[in-house]
Amino acid sequence: MLNIRTFLLAAVSVLPFGLRAAHAEPTPREQFTEAVQLFFDAKPVESARKFDQLVLAVPGAEPELWQRGLALYYAERFQDGRKQFELHRTVNPNDVENPAWHFLCVARLEGIQAAREKLLPVGEDPRVPMREILELYAGRCEPAAVLAAAETGAGEAKKNQLCYAHLYLGLFSEAAGDAAKAREHMTQAAGPFRMDHYMGKVAVMHAKLRGWPVENASR
């Protein structure tokens, strides 16, 4: 997903100089940082509110804020999350993760079949196993195909692939109402296959929010 740094720098640059210098109000960058921190502290409701404040301060930033979409999903503001991911597609049309999260929001609102019918179109995303994840969400393959794709390769690359596979399998299972499978996959993404990047941290936050203990990363 897109790097938020460019728009934050631009947003800070258009604030009145005296306001920035006096720190009478938080800058967009500070609001963004606080929103992300609240999210990873497993406080999605508070995070979503902080992102809302950022959008009010810098309306032009909204299409870039896929991070806001994640916070909205976990805050159970599924309609708002759906709109956020539809908007993000206008600036990032080739990211499979965006239609996946849109699917999850629609599934929580209207069910899996409706989410499949309204799956956002997307371009090519060469990351493994993103193609298989999208195929699963579209109803054209089974979870085993996602895991098989993720098992290719070796070392950190394979571990990363398995982190993504289990994360999105866990999210899919939860949206489908299978809490046991959701826990099984998410604790793999947050535990043995944990990665120190944004989506890896999402898995950790998810497990924390649901109260699921995880193993220490060991691979």
Same domain, 151 and 81: no
Cα–Cα distance between 17 and 21 in angstroms, integer?
Answer: 6
Q: Of 101, 125, 149, which marks where a domain is finished?
A: 125
The sign of the CA dihedral 81, 37, 173, 140 is: positive
Give mean pLDDT, residues 155-175.
98
What's residue 217's pLDDT?
A: 52
Say how many C-beta atoms besides its own lie within 10 A of residue 104's C-beta. 24
Q: Are 146 and 132 in contact (CB under 8 A)?
A: yes
Q: Output 169 or 16, whichever has higher pLDDT.
A: 169
What is the span of the domain harbouring residue 54?
1-125
Task: State percent of the chain over pLDDT 90.
Answer: 83
Residue 8's pLDDT band, with cuts at 50, 70 and 90, is low
Q: Does position 186 have pLDDT exceeding 50, yes or no? A: yes
76-134 pLDDT, tens per residue?
999 999 999 999 999 999 899 999 999 999 999 999 999 999 999 998 889 999 999 99
Distance from C-alpha of 118 to C-alpha of 113, rounded to nearest angstrom: 9
Distance separating alpha carbons of residues 146 and 128, to the nearest angstrom: 9
Give the end of a domain, one of 83, 106, 125.
125
Give yes or no: residues 12 and 28 share one domain: yes
CA distance 36 to 123: 27
Listed residues 79, 107, 125: the one ending a domain: 125
Looking at the structure, do residues 163 and 218 belong to the same domain, yes or no? yes
Distance CA 204, CA 209 (A): 9
* Same domain (yes/no): 84, 53: yes
For residues 13 and 59, state if they share a domain.
yes
Q: What is the pLDDT of residues 45-86, one digit of tens each?
A: 999 999 999 999 999 999 999 999 999 999 999 999 999 999
Q: What's the predicted TM-score (pTM) here? A: 0.89
- How far CA 43 is from CA of 3, 34, 106, 111, in Å, comes to 22, 11, 22, 25
What's the rounded mean pLDDT across residues 165-191?
Answer: 98
- Confidence at 20, pLDDT banded by 50, 70, 90: very low
Domain count, the chain: 2
Maximum alpha-carbon separation in the chain? 57
Contact criterion met (CB below 8 Å) for 187 and 127: no
Average pLDDT over residues 8-26: 49
Do both 64 and 46 map to the same domain?
A: yes
The answer on 177 and 150 residing in a single domain is yes
pLDDT of residue 124: 83
Least confident of 9-18, 22-31, 133-142: 9-18
Amino acid identity of residue 111, one-letter, is G
